[in-house]
Structure 1
Amino acid sequence: MKIIKLSLIAAAVIGLNACSLDGDDGTNGVNGQDGAPGQDGSNGLTSLTVQTNLPVGNANCPNSGVQIDSGLDSDADGTLAASEVTSTSFVCAPGTTSVESAEILTSLNNNWFVQGQQEVAQAKQTWLEATSGISLPASSAQVTQYQTSSSVEQQALIAQLKGSAKNVILFIGDGMGISTVTAARILEGQMNGGLGEENNLSFDTFPFSGLAKTYNVDAQTPDSAGTMTAMVSGVKTDVGVIGVDEDIVRGDCSTVTGNELVTALELAEIAGKSTGIISTARITHATPAATYAKSADRNWEDISDMPEEVVTLGCKDIADQLVNFEDYLEARFDGLDVDGIEVAMGGGRRHFLPRDEAFNSPDAVSGVEGDRTDGRDLTAEWQAKYSAGMYVYDEASFNTINTETTERVFGLFNESHMQYDADRPNDVAGEPTVAQMTETAIKVLDNNPEGFFLMVESGRIDHSHHAGSAYGALTDTIAFAEAVAVADDLTNDSDTLIIVTADHGHVFTIAGYPKRGNPILGKVVGVGQTEPALAADDLPYTTLGYTNGRGFRDFGDEVTNADATYAFDPDTGRKDLTDVDTTSPGFHQEALVPTSSETHSGEDVGIYAKGPGAFLVNGTNEQNMIYHIMDYASDLKQKAEDKL
């Protein structure tokens, strides 16, 4: 029966459907009136979010960061009480990796690092073979009283050299290629009344020398960030990154974690030595920054240079990393207690001051000197952190430093880079020379019986070459050589390793067939001639020139700032120099290929060394070997591990 009933119902439905297909739809009825509005509901609770900056050492963010609390304002008082927090998250700075003391060098298995160690071993063997049966050179170490007659004795003496350097000084002539050294040597000699070629710069007389290959992991012609990272960490890396290995992705700060390198300066700091950095460039520029910072981009000198998403991730700008170097280094190593960098001097005030006219220095040249967009005055933060230290910003305050009693010095002598040496007298408030800064640094650092590590960069050699001014580059090189001489005079060969080198060269040439003693900045005058030689286009030409760059400019004697050329368009190609004084400070050499700025070169650069471990400098080397020489001479890694 159930089956029959269901069938009847189904048939009825089918029938109704069939009927509906036959008839037309009726017209719609008129809409009824809207009902009266209902009462408003009660207001909901306000959602609140609070961000709290976390310092280095925080349990949730060991390397600093931001804590984000959110919840509903249940008591409607406009503040988020602890009882109202329903969600907490953290954005932590990824810039450092905590490691145990046994892993002090995260680069031990890096191929570049291993290769550098092998080069040191080979250099020792080369020296053994070359000196078998003779005494150690007097400048090598304090073992000259021994006469060696066998390889066994030689090896014993080499073993004594390991770790015997109490002090290490690394001098970097930024952009100081071989041709720059040669031309500066000649110019200095001619300025002193000689023919020039017979002259020696201070480091030319160092007993050991060799060459360094400057390429970066990803570039045939390098930049300073990659080359300096190699020299102070023992690991070659990519263009444009600071203190990290080649696994980094430039511009992606999330890739910094796990790829940080430990530098010679950091090892010296951990080992209890005093540390210092000097540069005539901005102290946040690539070369000095590589000693203390870890950055996915060399251009992140202050927070205003960083993309917003990078700041949100908690990455730190380079200026912040300098001022808070002590805290960040301690956060990376469990139980570490260091006292921070004792001496830091250079240019770059703008990266430490807020973008607010009220914070301008007395000698500010811009309407608003500072660049920082986070409102922080890092010079004030440094002074609060190191109340016994001295912050100096001009020549007068620099001259008040008492090197016997001053514990630390922070000097920022210009808004951007310091002046070219030729242009230094024009500085608004005056600034010290690189030699004066070197002398002061050594006298302050030398108060530590454990010794010191000091890096000195002459950064404006590079900048003058970029501007196409040989005069500026060579006079800065001469000033740099004077700083090396000061360091040599103030230290002892028996306990101080001094290395002088460059990060890269420039497309700077010494050409033609000028006679002996011909002014190095002058036009080519051939042997036996008195008039300038003419090229195939019947025009005279200079001994010095550039393969590419901004080209000819004649500012005469009045303009000593090489950067003045940037106010004009490049002017390359041949010029009639017949009536031009090419020896004047304002003359810029001709360039073959027009570019907005003259470029680096991929040539090898010189290494000059004296003191314990200097004998390891010989032949042609990978640039990262320089770190391994410093480590061998001062035993930095082992001494650092002993402190942990």
Structure 2
Amino acid sequence: MMLKALALSLAATLVGGTSSFAQTAPVDDGSSYYRAAQADLTHRLSVKQNVKKARNVIMFVGDGMGTSTTTAARILAGQMRGVDGESYVLTMDGLPYTGLVKTYAHDSQVADSAPTATALLAGVKTRNGVIGLDHRATPSLCKDAADKNVVSLIELAEAQGRATGIVTTTRITHATPAAGYAHTPERDWEDDSELTDEAKASGCVDIARQLVEWNFGDGMEVVLGGGRRNFMPNTSADPEYATVKGKRKDGRDLIKAWQKRYKRGSYVWDAKGFAALDPKGQGPVLGLFEPDHMQYELDRAKTGSGEPSLAEMTRFAISRVQSHPNGFVLLVEGGRIDHAHHAGQAGRALADTVAFDDAVRAALSMVDPEETLIIVTADHSHGLTISGYPARNNPILDIVKDGDGKVMPAGDGKPYTTLTYATGPGAKPDGARDDISEVHTDDPDYRQQALIPARSAAHAGEDVAVRAVGPFAHLLQGTIEQNLIFHVILHASQITAKNP
């Protein structure tokens, strides 16, 4: 079937075993739905609110992971396991508390990752493009940014004696991870080569340098992601790709600066180095596994010197911090879900969502939810749609077919896929659609068709989900403002919001 190619690519990402609630086959009699609902009701009635102090906090952020993405990923994950995808249950689906989150920014109906990450990690809404500053900041203007800083959850936790860490599949200087430690009116100032003359004259510091010079507590225990080039001078060749060089124009090697500052620390850049680390060891760890973003999950084993999966990085991070006497706070981002959507490649986006869910499952297997608050959410949605009337069990990446396997054409007589985009590179300027009858729409490189032509598919502004388990997770129900999540975390963990 048309899902075969993606099945082979994705097989390595799917950990054995399924959720205890997953269907092993489509329901086959009229009473099955009734019995399943009764069992679900019994389970929900047994859930008791946990009002203990949260010793630990893990926030999972699926970048661009809107509800259509999780629905399609759920179906894909089930179909990859040979079971009924529609009734399958992702790990995140099994968390007991769920709410809807409003993601608008201070100045925009549809937000980017900078203000949404700031809302999640610092408790305020701000403007598109702005990280770690409140809404009074002017995007891309340095001179009036200094007194607009808002303190992040990672900063507060570190200053108050907890272990902290950030894990991401993007550049570690990208918007979502940067919101844990950086303060800048321009999310693109990831290294000094991106700073404007005004920014330099007014004293703004690039995001990579802010990470290395970060001055809260004894520093983060674990920092894992991509983005080596933002820490390397433009005269230095990358250790993995000989033709790639660093980006820094100031001549500084910030990796060496980090190593000098953290003499007991360990720096790694490939799968071999990561595998050699002691999960129970001491000292901070910096892992930068690509010069740019880390690879998509479907491409992870195909290029370079290899790199760990998001689940592997999550397990390692938890292992390094879970024995800390004061507990820990971790941010884990599945950042490339968003990038695949921007490219109009739903197959890659869904594969990264499944990998993200694997990381959630890994965390749940390692911590006690009685003392650990786990939150799974998205910063914003994307314009992915699930439409048509495909038959039950139709491969989610396939064209729309009825129960007899017959193609159901659109009004122009051509077939169309279940998954499409509102905007993106899959659209043609003249509005015409290609005939995809003979196209392998399950190929990871395939770009789903879109309505409005654009170089990059746009974010979407509808509410996203938040799912939670652990102390005070029940507060994350109903329809909430995105920045409330930060305040629930502070309440549950008893981390004080006073500036350190």
TM-score surpassing 0.5?
yes
List per-residue Cα deviations over 1:322-374 (Å, max 9, x = no partner).
01112xx4xxxxxxxx2011111101001000000xx3232025x24200000
1:594 counterpart = 2:453: yes
Q: Once superposed, what is the RMSD of the aligned Cα atoms?
A: 1.6
Q: Which residue of 1 aligns with 2:59?
A: 170
Task: Specify the code of the residue in structure 2 equivalent to 1:436.
Answer: E
2:310 to 434, 440, 449: 434
Task: Specify the code of the residue in structure 1 equivalent to 2:478.
Answer: G
Query: What is the alpha-carbon distance in structure 1 between the residues aligned to residue 279 and residue 294 of structure 2?
Result: 22
Q: CA deviation at 1:570?
A: 7.7
Q: Which residue of 2 aligns with 1:610?
A: 469
Q: Which residue of 1 aligns with 2:238?
A: 361
List per-residue Cα deviations over 1:142-195 (Å, max 9, x = no partner).
xxxxxxxxxxxxxxxx5xx3xx10100000000000000000000000000012
Q: CA deviation at 1:494?
A: 1.0
Change in Cα spacing, 1:175 to 1:571, as seen in structure 2 (3 Å) is: farther
Confirm or deny: 8 A CA contact 1:523 1:532 kept in the other structure.
Answer: yes
Q: CA deviation at 1:624?
A: 0.4
1:535 counterpart = 2:394: no
Q: Which residue of 2 aligns with 1:304?
A: 193
Confirm or deny: 8 A CA contact 2:56 2:493 kept in the other structure.
Answer: yes
Larger Rg: 1
Q: Which residue of 2 aligns with 1:43?
A: none
| Structure 2 gap ranges (5+) | 1-43
Query: What is the alpha-carbon distance in structure 2 between the residues aligned to residue 269 and residue 530 of structure 1?
Result: 56
Query: What is the alpha-carbon distance in structure 2 between the residues aligned to residue 352 and residue 613 of structure 1?
Result: 39
Q: Which residue of 2 aligns with 1:580?
A: 439
Confirm or deny: 8 A CA contact 1:515 1:525 kept in the other structure.
Answer: yes
Query: What is the alpha-carbon distance in structure 2 between the residues aligned to residue 239 and residue 369 of structure 1?
Result: 30
What secondary structure is seen at the aligned counterpart in 1 of 2:487? helix
Q: CA deviation at 1:580?
A: 1.3
Query: What is the alpha-carbon distance in structure 2 between the residues aligned to residue 253 and residue 579 of structure 1?
Result: 53
Query: What is the alpha-carbon distance in structure 2 between the residues aligned to residue 595 and residue 537 of structure 1?
Result: 22
Q: Which residue of 2 aligns with 1:343?
A: 222
Q: CA deviation at 1:506?
A: 0.6
2:263 to 381, 384, 387: 387
What secondary structure is seen at the aligned counterpart in 2 of 1:258? helix
Q: CA deviation at 1:427?
A: 2.1
Confirm or deny: 8 A CA contact 1:550 1:572 kept in the other structure.
Answer: no
Change in Cα spacing, 1:513 to 1:351, as seen in structure 2 (3 Å) is: same
Task: Specify the code of the residue in structure 2 equivalent to 1:444.
Answer: R
What secondary structure is seen at the aligned counterpart in 2 of 1:636? coil
1:260 to 125, 138, 149: 149
What secondary structure is seen at the aligned counterpart in 2 of 1:345? strand
Q: Which residue of 2 aligns with 1:400?
A: 276
List per-residue Cα deviations over 1:419-470 (Å, max 9, x = no partner).
0001111221000000000000010011311011100001100000000000
Alignment of 1:184-583 (within 5 A): 184-326=73-215, 329=216, 338-356=217-235, 359-364=236-241, 367-526=243-402, 528-551=403-426, 573-583=432-442
What secondary structure is seen at the aligned counterpart in 1 of 2:65? coil
What secondary structure is seen at the aligned counterpart in 2 of 1:372? coil
Query: What is the alpha-carbon distance in structure 1 between the residues aligned to residue 250 and residue 234 of structure 2?
Result: 8
Query: What is the alpha-carbon distance in structure 2 between the residues aligned to residue 379 and residue 241 of structure 1?
Result: 25
Query: What is the alpha-carbon distance in structure 2 between the residues aligned to residue 454 and residue 252 of structure 1?
Result: 30
Confirm or deny: 8 A CA contact 1:283 1:347 kept in the other structure.
Answer: yes
Task: Specify the code of the residue in structure 2 equivalent to 1:401.
Answer: L
Task: Specify the code of the residue in structure 2 equivalent to 1:282.
Answer: R
Confirm or deny: 8 A CA contact 1:570 1:596 kept in the other structure.
Answer: no
List per-residue Cα deviations over 1:539-570 (Å, max 9, x = no partner).
11110000110006xxxxxxxxxxxxxxxx98
1:623 counterpart = 2:499: no
List per-residue Cα deviations over 1:172-223 (Å, max 9, x = no partner).
0000000000000000000000120011111100000001000000000100
1:137 counterpart = 2:47: yes
| Structure 1 gap ranges (5+) | 1-133, 142-157, 330-337, 553-568
Q: CA deviation at 1:137?
A: 2.5
Q: CA deviation at 1:571?
A: 9.1
TM-score normalised by length of structure 2? 0.89
List per-residue Cα deviations over 1:220-248 (Å, max 9, x = no partner).
01000000101111100000011000100
Query: What is the alpha-carbon distance in structure 2 between the residues aligned to residue 573 and residue 589 of structure 1?
Result: 14
1:179 counterpart = 2:68: yes
Q: CA deviation at 1:136?
A: 7.7
List per-residue Cα deviations over 1:9-33 (Å, max 9, x = no partner).
xxxxxxxxxxxxxxxxxxxxxxxxx
User: How many equivalent pairs are there?
Assistant: 457
Deviation above 4 Å: which 4+ runs of structure 1? 569-572
TM-score normalised by length of structure 1? 0.69
Task: Specify the code of the residue in structure 1 equivalent to 2:240.
Answer: D
Query: What is the alpha-carbon distance in structure 2 between the residues aligned to residue 321 and residue 246 of structure 1?
Result: 21
Q: CA deviation at 1:307?
A: 1.1
Query: What is the alpha-carbon distance in structure 2 between the residues aligned to residue 572 and residue 636 of structure 1?
Result: 53
